Chain A
């Protein structure tokens, strides 16, 4: 019995996985980022050979690109009117200049794959910023796509924004994305990771990375790491933060005081470093030191 069943099961699994692989291939080959994707997606949406079952299978793929395309094709099929409404939705200039999407309808998780798709279609730089900003606000899943995009993105600012957004993603995406951020070649992106960790529900799992970031070559990264350790109430980092009180950059010294105060104000108040900081050349540092002392 077993001898008969096992080959049948293996065959079924093989057939099943082949179907999945076929669907995966159709969903990502050829893969590109640019305006030509609109036609590709339209073709997939119209492809009656690409079944809902295949899309459901593809949603479990190990490849984020497959998962994304499955989601956007399924979304177009299930929510055509909604997607048509937001396919070309404009963003309007904010008071700071660059554009932002507005309106209560944006809080709709079904829109997340559509906006990711618009991002992949290579809009203007300002529109990319606006899309990166609105995607988390939909409430939909975006961590998966952002982590994937983060690995491919050349632009430092866009990488930084993706890292910053990932603080609000699911746990796995948050941790993976922020760890990519901490390891980024660019200090600004590392700084975003250090900042975002302090805002994340999963930030306490990144305390080792934050402590290491206290020694980063970039002052912004050191300052944000210090701040986040305070936000996370990472008491174990108290001693690691102390050298930051003598950092060459005032913003690092200020954030270190604020962080140490949050970890243990009494212990900080007894530290001799505060005497020097009370005469610091930076008035903000002096104010903080006097407050604590």
Chain B
């Protein structure tokens, strides 16, 4: 994985930072080569510092740096290997004995395997500087590397990074969509709009190789791994599609490579809840005094209808984003992205707002409209052609009232509890649902699920919100005249630019919306080894 220029707060070089602030965390301070390959160089770490090193933080070596088709842990990774966390033994330390404790950890020196489970002890001549490389097999794997010599002894804790899922406050770097361009079943308008909005940060991948499967949000989840000197990403590949069908091979074909691994958890027959539109992460929150600097992951389900236990168990094992489960079983598709999401709000203390669907807000808007307003877009999909046909439908109102009272309000209570939110952190946005007999009478968005939006975050204060066009207007009328769009624009926090995309036939009529049909890669977050120790069992 690529070496990065390590700079500390205020632009101090990492060498200076290491010397002043982080003497207890091993890194590549002063080294010219932080690859862990064994090359040594000038160091700022003194022999005395060495005996004070407390910990080395690395990442799981699950990518394929040499592109030979094998995960690097299994074959050493070759010359391109760059996922071993460096540990410098400064010149002058002299002869030391090193003992490795822990499973799934190896120690390398000069490109040679030095310590592993079957050979945990070795002597190291550190008359001259020695650069060790610590390699981990899996995420959040602990161990200890003990040294003893004439200058002292030391037990260095080893730990690989937890796998961390992205949240909407992280800067976006790229967006993918599956493009369809044959016949009438196309999304060419939406693809063209996204190209205009995002430019080079956008890729449309032809659906021909993927069975015209457009639900890319459901197939993969971007995540990241970091240590002080190593970094990488993992594309978590859902069990949603298997055996090469649909988007099953997307991650391997389009994304996998050096520093970008593909991993899957869970097995067996997937249900709709295993899709990753149902797996999201909140922005950073503090709950009852506990800070979650990387947010909290939420995975929809309830009772006996839940996502694969394998995926849930893995997420729970990563600790830092402490997963919880909103009830999505009242929804036809059953995904969390269908009724709430988070958008940046640079002006607020928390830095974000929770958006959640509110049926009363929708009825208020619809009731204020002329009931004769034509909404021709809705005729074929929903069997209504005027606003009045919606507002006069008492059963539709009652069903939505039930949904609000029995499902959405309890979710708000859950989110307030699990994420430490207050009413001030929440924006209720209009939306109504219909029941669908073909989907066991569960709920689907009737007005396009605008809340099912993609957040393309550009900075701490600006982002682009990619939202389904509600088409609550006559044919040919401009978006500016659409009262739903006007209301949404008035509700969004400053700094969020809104873009309303025509996702009707391919997505809305396919029971998904913009978020379901897109996926966004983001910059990694902050230093978990300093910010999240309290969640990982440390202080």
Contact surface of A with B, Cβ cutoff 8 Å: 92-98, 100, 102-107, 129, 132-133, 136-137, 139, 160-161, 164-165, 168, 192, 195-196, 198-199, 227, 230-231, 233, 254, 258, 262, 283-284, 287-288, 291
Given contacts A93-B213, A95-B333, contact A133 B438 (CB under 8 A): yes
Q: Would you give 14 A-B contacts (Cβ < 8 Å), ordered by A?
A: A94-B511, A95-B272, A95-B277, A96-B272, A102-B185, A102-B505, A104-B376, A104-B379, A160-B437, A168-B383, A198-B398, A199-B435, A258-B406, A288-B405
Q: Is B516 engaged at the interface, CB distance under 8 Å to the other chain?
A: yes
A sample of 11 more A-B contacts (CB under 8 A), given A95-B512, A97-B272, A107-B383, is A94-B511, A94-B512, A95-B335, A137-B380, A160-B437, A161-B438, A168-B383, A192-B437, A196-B437, A258-B402, A288-B405
Complex Cα distance, B507 from A92, in Å, reads 11
Complex Cα distance, B184 from A100, in Å, reads 15
Complex Cα distance, B511 from A92, in Å, reads 11
Given contacts A96-B332, A107-B379, A291-B405, contact A102 B441 (CB under 8 A): no
Shortest Cβ distance from B271 into A: residue: A97
A106 contact set on B, CB distance < 8 A: 380
Q: Is the CB of B437 within 8 A of A164?
A: yes
Q: Is B215 engaged at the interface, CB distance under 8 Å to the other chain?
A: yes
Q: Is the CB of B437 within 8 A of A96?
A: no
Choose among A92, A195, A227 the residue with the greatest number of B CB atoms under 10 Å from its CB: A92
A-B contact count (CB 8 A): 100
Q: Is the CB of B439 within 8 A of A95?
A: no
Q: Is the CB of B398 within 8 A of A283?
A: no
5 shortest interchain CB distances as A-B pairs: A164-B437, A107-B380, A95-B512, A107-B379, A102-B509
Given contacts A96-B333, A103-B184, A129-B438, contact A288 B406 (CB under 8 A): yes
Complex Cα distance, B437 from A96, in Å, reads 13
Complex Cα distance, B438 from A129, in Å, reads 7
A287 contact set on B, CB distance < 8 A: 405-406, 409-410
B437 contact set on A, CB distance < 8 A: 133, 160-161, 164-165, 192, 196
Choose among A107, A233, A258, A288 the residue with the greatest number of B CB atoms under 10 Å from its CB: A107
Shortest Cβ distance from B385 into A: residue: A107
Contact surface of B with A, Cβ cutoff 8 Å: 184-185, 212-213, 215, 218, 272, 275, 277, 332-335, 376-377, 379-381, 383, 394-395, 398-399, 402, 405-406, 409-410, 435, 437-439, 441, 505-506, 509-512, 516
Q: Is the CB of A231 within 8 A of B395?
A: yes
Q: How far is the CB of A87 from chain B (nearest CB, A)?
A: 15
A93 contact set on B, CB distance < 8 A: 213, 510
Q: How far is the CB of A77 from chain B (nearest CB, A)?
A: 25
A129 contact set on B, CB distance < 8 A: 438
Complex Cα distance, B437 from A233, in Å, reads 22
Q: How far is the CB of A266 from chain B (nearest CB, A)?
A: 18
B441 contact set on A, CB distance < 8 A: 164, 195
Q: Is the CB of B212 within 8 A of A139?
A: no
Q: Is the CB of A95 within 8 A of B511?
A: yes
Q: Is the CB of B333 within 8 A of A100?
A: no
Q: How far is the CB of B413 from chain A (nearest CB, A)?
A: 9
Out of B218, B272, B510, B512, which one reaches A102, CB within 8 Å? B510
Out of A160, A164, A196, A262, which one reaches B398, CB within 8 Å? A262
Shortest Cβ distance from B378 into A: residue: A107
Out of B213, B410, B511, which one reaches A283, CB within 8 Å? B410
Shortest Cβ distance from B507 into A: residue: A95
Q: Is the CB of A284 within 8 A of B406?
A: yes
B379 contact set on A, CB distance < 8 A: 104, 107, 139
A164 contact set on B, CB distance < 8 A: 437, 441
Q: Is the CB of B218 within 8 A of A95?
A: yes
Shortest Cβ distance from B510 into A: residue: A94
Shortest Cβ distance from A285 into B: residue: B406
Complex Cα distance, B383 from A282, in Å, reads 36
Shortest Cβ distance from B377 into A: residue: A104
Q: How far is the CB of B430 from chain A (nearest CB, A)?
A: 22
Complex Cα distance, B333 from A94, in Å, reads 9
Q: Is the CB of B398 within 8 A of A230?
A: yes
Complex Cα distance, B381 from A227, in Å, reads 25
Q: Is the CB of A100 within 8 A of B398?
A: no
Choose among A102, A168, A258 the residue with the greatest number of B CB atoms under 10 Å from its CB: A102
A136 contact set on B, CB distance < 8 A: 383
Shortest Cβ distance from A233 into B: residue: B394
Shortest Cβ distance from B439 into A: residue: A96
Complex Cα distance, B116 from A221, in Å, reads 63
Q: Is the CB of A102 within 8 A of B506?
A: yes
A133 contact set on B, CB distance < 8 A: 437-438
Q: How far is the CB of A154 from chain B (nearest CB, A)?
A: 19
Shortest Cβ distance from A136 into B: residue: B383
Q: How far is the CB of B435 from chain A (nearest CB, A)?
A: 8
A199 contact set on B, CB distance < 8 A: 395, 435
Complex Cα distance, B383 from A75, in Å, reads 22
Shortest Cβ distance from B438 into A: residue: A133
Q: How far is the CB of B329 from chain A (nearest CB, A)?
A: 12
Q: How far is the CB of B410 from chain A (nearest CB, A)?
A: 7
Complex Cα distance, B382 from A136, in Å, reads 10
B505 contact set on A, CB distance < 8 A: 102-104
B506 contact set on A, CB distance < 8 A: 92, 102
A192 contact set on B, CB distance < 8 A: 437
Complex Cα distance, B437 from A21, in Å, reads 38
A92 contact set on B, CB distance < 8 A: 185, 212, 506, 510
Shortest Cβ distance from A291 into B: residue: B405
